[in-house]
């Protein structure tokens, strides 16, 4: 897959692309789906806007659905900046456990798609390139049991247990950016306030201890207002649609 090759050859591009997917909490809605939240997010690096997304969190008959429609501005191999369109969705069951995901990217009119399904003891990934050819990979991890996405585990804690200052929460998650299993641990550092649209919003400050170092500012019900990855100096913050700038 051409984009994968470019990403592999350019570590900074790979890190930016994967961080973009993981920073943002990621269709058509039919009558059986209920919208729980809709958020515009702006991605910035060194105070410069490099992307944005429109993210939705939905209740479905089977559980929950996260969707994200976004644009990421990339500088590839020293050439002129190009815009990559990204669509992502994560499907989880009523217990917030990972069931399936899809990521579609379009760069210069060439579309690539990755779909994954997670069943007991097996993870099947199908990659489709611009030529329409499929490549299938099957993972059979030694460790089985409850498997989340980062997004769904955060919502699971916020919506069923409640965020408690000083507490640490750990789960096994599937990293759809790198196609790997990892332990995900975050700590609720403190209560804080975040200025949004001229109002002080009560949030919790969460710090990821593994596998990354991302910090989130999250409301009690799990809405993310701000996130920051210090390794790549990338931030994502909640904004209104009219605040989205033109990418240059």
**What pLDDT digit, counting tens, does each position of 95-116 carry?**
999 999 999 999 989 999 999 9
| Statement: residue 175 has pLDDT above 70 | yes
What pLDDT does 120 receive?
A: 77
DSSP per residue over 124-192, as a string? Answer: EEEEE-TT--EEEEEE--S--S--B-HHHHHHHIIIII---TT-EEEEEEEETTTTEEEEEEEEEEEEE
| Statement: residue 60 has pLDDT above 90 | yes
What pLDDT does 10 receive?
A: 42
What pLDDT does 68 receive?
A: 96
pLDDT class for 78, splitting at 50, 70, 90? Answer: confident
pLDDT one-digit tens code per residue, 232-244:
899 999 999 999 9
What pLDDT does 172 receive?
A: 95
User: Is the Cβ–Cβ distance between 81 and 73 less than 8 Å?
Assistant: yes
User: Is the Cβ–Cβ distance between 37 and 53 less than 8 Å?
Assistant: no
pLDDT one-digit tens code per residue, 4-38:
333 333 444 444 555 555 555 444 445 478 999 99
């Amino acid at each position: 897959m051409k984009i994968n090759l470019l990403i592999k050859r350019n570590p900074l591009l790979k890190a930016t692309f994967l961080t973009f997917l993981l920073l943002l909490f990621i269709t058509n809605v039919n009558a059986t789906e209920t919208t729980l939240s809709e958020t515009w997010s702006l991605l910035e690096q060194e105070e410069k806007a490099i992307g944005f997304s429109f993210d939705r969190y939905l209740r479905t008959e089977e559980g929950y659905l996260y969707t994200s429609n976004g644009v990421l501005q990339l500088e590839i191999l020293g050439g002129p900046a190009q815009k990559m369109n990204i669509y992502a969705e994560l499907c989880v069951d009523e217990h917030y456990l990972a069931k399936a995901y899809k990521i579609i990217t379009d760069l210069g009119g060439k579309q690539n798609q990755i779909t994954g399904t997670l069943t007991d003891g097996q993870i099947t990934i199908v990659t489709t390139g611009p030529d329409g050819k499929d490549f299938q990979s099957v993972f059979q991890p030694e460790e089985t049991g409850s498997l989340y996405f980062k997004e769904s585990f955060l919502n699971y804690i916020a919506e069923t247990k409640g965020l408690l200052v000083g507490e640490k929460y750990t789960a096994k998650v599937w990293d759809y950016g790198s196609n790997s299993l990892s332990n995900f641990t975050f700590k609720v550092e403190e209560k804080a306030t975040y200025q949004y649209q001229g109002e002080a919003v009560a949030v919790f400050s969460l710090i990821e201890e593994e596998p990354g170092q991302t910090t989130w500012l999250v409301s009690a019900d799990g809405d993310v207002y701000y996130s920051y990855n210090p390794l790549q100096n990338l931030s994502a913050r909640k904004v209104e649609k009219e605040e989205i700038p033109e990418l240059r």
